[in-house]
Structure 1
Amino acid sequence: MPENTTVPTRAMRLGVAGPVGTGKSSLIATLCQALSGELRLGVITNDIYTDEDARFLKSAGVLDPERIRPVETGACPHTAIRDDVTANLLAAEDLEADFGSLDLVIIESGGDNLTATFSPALVDAQLFVLDVAGGGDVVRKGGPGIARADLLVINKTDLGEHVGVDVERMAREGRAARAGGPVVALSRHDTASIRMLTGWVRETLAHYRTGHHTPVDPGPMAPHIHAGRTGQPHPHADGTTHAHDHAPAEAGQGT
């Protein structure tokens, strides 16, 4: 191991983001049920005005209720996972102070839109959750969570036949949107898909423990540069990147 590699002394923090209703809480319950026998876990949930997600997880009985802590953000979900992460950082630190050394702290975002991503100041790795009931086309709509989170999870695959979604196509298009990045098509009723998810978590945690893992910021999409700057390369929705001129607006227009 290189001398300048620092082995982490705290738990790995895993962010779980995605739109409302995609099954983030049930995914976390599945992870806790599968991993609590081998890993020391803690969970932090984010809701705007309630502790609904924390109460769901506690009632599921998948983890000691004291290891599940709610954060009430009081604002848009992305505020507490990206703009000002203080409340979540304090909750994570309190969990480790109360229970000693933990292996993994899972932090669930409140339901947000396709632009929601965690700050790398809060989590070490993050996954983004879609579900087939949201429509097979949603994966093609892109966004930083879909394109650049560490893992994309396409959830509730067992519902595909009931909502007219081709799950295999959706997963294939997810991999294309991520330039081949990892995608797990998940159903809590399918043990093979659960093994794929837990295998990814174990592998990521093992890499984190070596001190070689660097959190990556999915961030917002790369900005266009206009207002008189010419020849600026920037990406478009079709995946191409090119440069063209943007002439400055005429005086008195576009106000």
Structure 2
Amino acid sequence: MDVRPSTGASSPSRVGAARVGIGGPVGSGKTALIEKLIPAFAERGVSLAIITNDLVTIEDAERIRRSGLIDPDRVAAVEAGACPHTVIREDPTLNIAAADDLEARYPDVELVLIESGGDNLASTFSLDLVDWWMFVIDVAGGDDIPRKKGPGVLKCDLLVVNKKDLAVHVGVDLEKMEAAARSARAGRPTVLTNCRTGDGVGEIADRIIADVLFR
């Protein structure tokens, strides 16, 4: 299913699968994280569906569909047609409709992952859309990202600092970057990952299960 921009009122209160948002700048590793989370959730017995958001393409959805990790029909694509903020925060109608459709077609789905189109540090999710959300940044983007205290970094339920393996190659002190993140977030959870290898992804899956599925 591919969804293109339209107008409409917000969805009413719902009962169904948990919905988790994944935001972050372009290239931070959001899609790579999803590709590692799919088998992690499968190992934990969690039935999954996925929604990706892009400006005017469905490239991320097609990448996941071709991965062989999940039934391609369980992957929906939303074309935002505007700033990615629009469809995850200001008017999440398109994503709500896409998630409702996936749940209707696959009643066994327990968790819907909703990936935002790549955006800056101000990207946040509407709680009308998701129950819990994470924000992905990467070490190569600079160790000053946590100190800039963007809304995505501060407001997310879980901050993911990806590409930790690159720290030694880009002059980043990983321990200081992690400390700055924890300080900016007043101790709220931060996980360091290498989504190419899957390092740290199991911890994220376990947190989602504990905080969202079984809270």
1:122 pairs with 2:119 = no
Match of 1:167 among 170, 174, 183: 174
Aligned counterparts of 1:47 and 1:191: Cα–Cα separation in 2: 24
1:11 pairs with 2:25 = no
Whether the 8 Å CA contact 1:139–1:174 is kept in 2: the answer is yes
1:205 pairs with 2:212 = yes
**Paired residues, number:** 201
User: RMSD across aligned C-alpha pairs, in angstroms?
Assistant: 1.4
Match of 2:40 among 28, 34, 41: 34
The answer for the alignment partner of 2:155 in structure 1 is 148
Whether the 8 Å CA contact 1:36–1:63 is kept in 2: the answer is no
Give the SS at the match of 2:200.
helix
Aligned counterparts of 1:91 and 1:144: Cα–Cα separation in 2: 26
Whether the 8 Å CA contact 2:147–2:180 is kept in 1: the answer is yes
Aligned counterparts of 1:28 and 1:108: Cα–Cα separation in 2: 8
Residue identity in the other structure for 1:27: L
The answer for the alignment partner of 1:45 in structure 2 is 52
Whether the 8 Å CA contact 2:36–2:198 is kept in 1: the answer is no
Tell me the TM-score normalised to structure 1 length.
Answer: 0.76
1:22 pairs with 2:25 = no
Percent identity among equivalent residues? 48
- 1:11-66 C-alpha deviation (Å, 9 max, x unpaired): 10000001111000001111112112411100000001000110111122221111
- 1:154-186 C-alpha deviation (Å, 9 max, x unpaired): 001111111111122111110000000000001
Whether the 8 Å CA contact 1:18–1:130 is kept in 2: the answer is yes
Deviation at 1:148, TM superposition (A): 1.7
Poorly superposed stretches of 4+, deviation over 4 Å: 189-192
Aligned counterparts of 1:14 and 1:191: Cα–Cα separation in 2: 19
Aligned counterparts of 2:213 and 2:33: Cα–Cα separation in 1: 21
Give the SS at the match of 1:187.
coil
Q: Which has the larger radius of gyration?
A: 1
1:186 pairs with 2:199 = no
- 1:93-131 C-alpha deviation (Å, 9 max, x unpaired): 000111113110000000111111000000000001100
Match of 1:111 among 86, 110, 118: 118
Aligned counterparts of 1:99 and 1:123: Cα–Cα separation in 2: 18
Q: Which has the higher contact order (CA 8 A, sep 6+)?
A: 2
The answer for the alignment partner of 2:77 in structure 1 is 70
Residue identity in the other structure for 2:36: T
Residues 84 and 155 from structure 1, CA distance in 2 versus in 1: closer, same or farther, beyond 3 angstroms?
A: same
